[in-house]
Amino acid sequence: MPPKGKRKAKDTGEGPAKPKKARRKADEFADQVPYIVRKEVCGVFGQFLGHHASDSDPEDDTPDDGFDAAMAVEEQMEEKVERVAIDLEKRMNSGEQVPTGIVMGTWKVYSPNFMNLRDHPNDPGRRVAGEPRNWSTWSTGSLKIGPESVDPSIISTRTVGVLHLDGIEHDWHIYMDIPEFASLVGAPCQAVRHIPAQPSRPDSADEVFGKREARVGVFFFGEGCLKIKVPAIYLGGKKQWNRWVTLFGVREAEQEA
């Protein structure tokens, strides 16, 4: 992934401030062009150059590893979530407060960002037993959201999302406060990497290790859709790559919607 270009310097003039629309409200996690926009740009350039989308090259005798088909699913679900965010923007700009909706439960996670990261030549999971990876069974991961504590004697308003990603050995526990209303701005949350308790250490319920904590952004768009932005460095990326890996979540009850 190429490094990001430099941002333009801010205008320091004394002119009147321009009104901000809901989706344009600045937040520390906003740095990726949505798939819908990327697709439109590619379509324009494709028409200009006389190209058309193709999943395979008829002159390429390389065996199909299923990457294109798997990536198409990831991008389709990214588009689904982004369209919900666009609709949320319109409703918020009209003055409507949109409920966050049902959050507890299991979410399926998709991410073209993360899939590209796992396709990097240095990724150990790219080849299995010396053979090229078969992407036809690819699944980015899952997110299970539930109460921070199952002990009824402990009062807590926070919830925890257990994030499992393909090829990442241990899960991330994301501690969050669920907002009453959907928002286009990411809420900063603490994520802690966990491993199960070991028999040799029965006194420990969980053990954290390595770069154990990360600051992530969680966006609740409502309608069973959310977005999570995780620093790429915690998922095998490098500092000069994109700052964030963007994950798109669709609650399992909403999969057929």
Whether 103 maps to a domain, the answer reads yes
- The whole-model pTM stands at 0.72
Whether 60 maps to a domain, the answer reads no
Whether 185 maps to a domain, the answer reads yes
pLDDT in tens, 104-153: 999 999 999 899 888 866 565 554 445 677 898 999 999 999 987 665 55
Amino acid 19: pLDDT: 43
Q: Is there a contact between 238 and 232 (Cβ–Cβ < 8 Å)?
A: yes
Q: Which residues in the chain come in under a pLDDT of 70?
A: 1-63, 120-131, 149-157, 195-211, 237-242, 254-257
Beta strands in the chain (DSSP E): 105-110, 127-128, 131-132, 141-147, 159-165, 172-176, 187-193, 195-196, 206-207, 213-222, 225-231, 244-251
C-alpha to C-alpha distance for 62 and 74, rounded to whole angstroms: 23
Whether 193 maps to a domain, the answer reads yes
CA proximity to 251, closest of 108, 74, 145: 108
Q: Take residue 68 and report the two structure tokens written for it.
A: 């294109």
Amino acid 147: pLDDT: 87
Domain holding 220, by residue range, is 32-54+65-127+139-254
Tally of domains in the chain? 1
Amino acid 29: pLDDT: 55
Cβ-based neighbour number of residue 102 at 10 Å: 13
Chain-centroid distance of CA 161 in Å reads: 13
- The CA-atom distances, in angstroms, between 207 and each of 143, 147, 169, 171, 182 are 20, 20, 14, 11, 33
Whether 244 maps to a domain, the answer reads yes
Whether 3 maps to a domain, the answer reads no
Whether 101 maps to a domain, the answer reads yes
Whether 181 maps to a domain, the answer reads yes
